[in-house]
Chain A
């Protein structure tokens, strides 16, 4: 597979447990946040997003929490499965030069033990 994320923080969880992946974002003016999942040798896949006027959003087995006070974003995965093993990274959109800019975190590698 690809050598993406060789030196990333790692989270190891047992199959069936819940996973929590954290992200500290950089800009208090950022107004839109996204979580992506990237499997080895593949491009990032969209998981869930949240706008800055919300503090929680739920999808299928995933929940994103936004704490604007401390500029923190988390992704919760319920009943983690082996297929959830991947690198997860957050992204934030901020105003920039009359448009916007997306800043990506380096990611966290999730290992799911069967």
Chain B
């Protein structure tokens, strides 16, 4: 059945290491999003993509990078420049219009070793 799959569920990063979080959707959605969730805070937008081969920075893009080579896939790389990467990362998608809800994956929990 259709949905968004994020992997891995748990990820550990060493100092100075880049790590990549996977997000795949089979909903045929044009738009995809990456959010960071910290305790007691609302979701904060890292990057979003409205269409293949195009993406835009969100509110907290520093230390992160993305690519959108396929409609189904929107991987997020957490680089060593991100000094406080410990968080719950959520990927979402929707049709890209302003009156449609976003559908979320089940998240990746990133921690520092």
Contact = CB atoms under 8 A, between A and B. Distances in A.
Whether both chains belong to one complex is answered with yes
Task: Give the interface size bracket for B toward A.
Answer: 20 to 34
A8 B106 contact: no
B90 A43 contact: yes
Contact of B42 (A7, A41, A42, A89): A89
Contacts of A43: 4, 6, 90, 92, 104-107
B1 to A, nearest CB: 14
A100 B97 CA distance: 8
B58 to A, nearest CB: 9
A44 B39 contact: no
A106 B99 contact: no
A34 B101 contact: yes
Interface stretch (A14-22, A45-53, A61-69, A72-80): A45-53
A4 B4 CA distance: 20
Given A31-B98, A105-B42, A46 B88 contact: no
Contacts of B102: 34, 46, 102
Given A32-B99, A104-B35, 17 more contacts: A2-B88, A3-B39, A4-B39, A7-B40, A31-B99, A42-B106, A42-B107, A43-B90, A43-B105, A44-B43, A44-B90, A44-B104, A49-B101, A100-B98, A101-B45, A102-B45, A107-B42
Interface of A: 2-8, 31-32, 34, 36, 41-46, 49, 51, 89, 93, 95, 99-107
Interface of B: 4, 6, 35, 37, 39-43, 45, 50, 88, 90, 92, 98-99, 101-107, 109
28 contacts: A2-B109, A3-B39, A4-B37, A4-B39, A5-B40, A6-B39, A7-B40, A31-B98, A32-B98, A34-B101, A34-B102, A36-B101, A36-B104, A41-B106, A43-B6, A43-B105, A43-B106, A43-B107, A44-B43, A44-B104, A46-B102, A46-B103, A49-B101, A102-B45, A102-B102, A103-B42, A106-B41, A107-B42
